[in-house]
Amino acid sequence: MKRCTWMNFLRTLVVLAACAACLKAANKIAPELERLDSAAVADVIVQFRGSGAPGVHARIVASGGVLRHSLHLIHGAHYQIRAARLAEMALDPDIEFIHPNRAVHASDFGGTVDYGWMSTLGFTSNGQALVWDGTGIGVAVIDSGISNHPDLSGRIVYNQSFVPNEDPNDHYGHGIHVAGLIGGNGSKSTGGDSVYKVRGIAPNVNLINLKALDLNGQGTDSQVIAAIQTAVALKSRYNVRVINLSLGRQVTGPYASDPLCQAVQQAWQAGIVVVVAAGNQGRNNSAGTSGYGTIAAPGNSPYVITVGAMNTLGTLARGDDKMASYSSKGPTAFDLIVKPDLVAPGNQMVSLQQSGSTLDKSYQGNEVPKSAYCADNGKKSSDYFQLSGTSMAAPIVSGAAALLLEQHSSWTPDQVKALLMLTADKTFPAASTQTAPGFTTATDAATGGVYTSYYDIFTVGAGYVNIAAALGSSDVPPAGASALSPSAVLNSTTGAVTVVNGTNVLWGSNVLWGNSVVWGTNVLWGSNVLWGSNVLWGNNVLWGSNVLWGSSADVAEATTLTLNGDR
């Protein structure tokens, strides 16, 4: 080969190698970060490869990066660094991926007084509860904080804030409401005009307060991951067996590469049941899917128990309960995981109030009159508040998990998940034909909008949580088996939809999932399934990159939801 030809060949190889390196580096940077102005400060989560974390950290700091949180649970760290440095960082062979530090938010909106959800507890008419009360179980509430309240009676055993410049108290008014649904003991309510106390599912649990949301109900991935990491570290000290996450954000990619999903998976594998709100995007039709495919992260993880919201209609009987139209529906974006796993009461829920908080100031009409829960006929409440959302449904299941773990102290998270799903009620509004499936409607009190809910597997999951049935069950799920939520698969030739799992699973034709599953007599499951009013399961609906709950369907949808929940 002539010298000039050889030199040109070498130059071509160098150029190709450089292009390949650049392409490889670009594949390690999330697309959102590539759009940043080079002069901007990027808020990022960097995940490390292998054992090179100390060296990578030193190189990032030398490039001007500032460490904000060490996130060893996901083998990474949270940094702030000039956007101009990101391309250089991506060339580092010890860096696995660079994520934006995405925003998360509480999954709530308000409501009016409703005591009907208490039927889920198994209360008798005189207010007596079941024998189990969560004694000895620690529940980590990762939320907007928990303030002292008489109904928590000194059971907040640990407090830490991951929100800059905010103490661990609840200045938003969401975390204390969630904590009350899990473990309030009703000491400030003496009945009043009602025979029922305002108390939570497991009124003697210990609460681990890990504040990750600020006074506006906003937070970031790094704050939530740091809180999850702390819950895992405190597991032995406080017997942390449950984590409640009544928060979420848009799904941005497969769960396996999402740092938030990786964190909840690590907690699950450390022996902690993780319960996550499904999200409130069930009315979102921006992608033409009637709210299907809108499950929020990290509820898209197949490990966790993802919870949707039911509306009790203010009655103790369960027979008239219906789906809350705002509750997000599956399958999950990208992975098509069958979610939610369960539904629970979440509409117009009464729980603890943080007087003077952001929610209290904004929605004073949500305060519960004292006459409703005590002999004092004063008009203004400083004790109890009402909210709606999947944020309120998740703690019902967290409390149920705590009761099961008190009853079965050696059970794994997978056993708890399996039994709660197995014993869940599966009777919903009847379906007469495939073209007329069971459904209910809800009307937005402010806008007059009417929304239809169908009772398929992507709306109600395995069914409506039944705590008394779970505690009374003699079934013992296998200790070594997995309870990963399955994936949905469409056969484009036959139109049949099936669910698939790994080999070591609890779901089968005789348990919860399976190709021939019918939830009671209510949900159609076959080759011509109709999911939603006009949403046929097909290539143009939930499959493909064009329907991944895009940015236009983000949290802004919540602004169209009234603070009155479903009617």
What residues are annotated to the active site? 143, 174, 391
Residue 357 CA to residue 214 CA, distance in Å, equals 11
- Copy the structure tokens of residue 521: 């007599």
Beta carbons within 8 Å of 219's beta carbon, 6+ residues apart: 103, 104, 105, 162, 163, 212, 213, 247
| 164-to-82, 103, 218, 410, 471 alpha-carbon distances in Å | 20, 14, 12, 37, 41
Q: What sign has the CA pseudo-torsion 360, 158, 248, 33?
A: positive
Region class of 390: left (phi > 0), else alpha (psi between -120 and 50), else beta = alpha
- Which amino acid does the sequence have at 365? G
Furthest C-alpha separation in the chain: 101
- Copy the structure tokens of residue 239: 């017997």
Report yes or no: 46 and 95 within 8 Å, Cβ to Cβ.
yes
Torsions phi, psi for 532 (to 5 deg): 95, 175
* Omega within 30 of 0 (cis) for the link into 298: yes
Report yes or no: 209 and 141 within 8 Å, Cβ to Cβ.
yes
Strands 240-245 and 138-143, sheet pairing: parallel
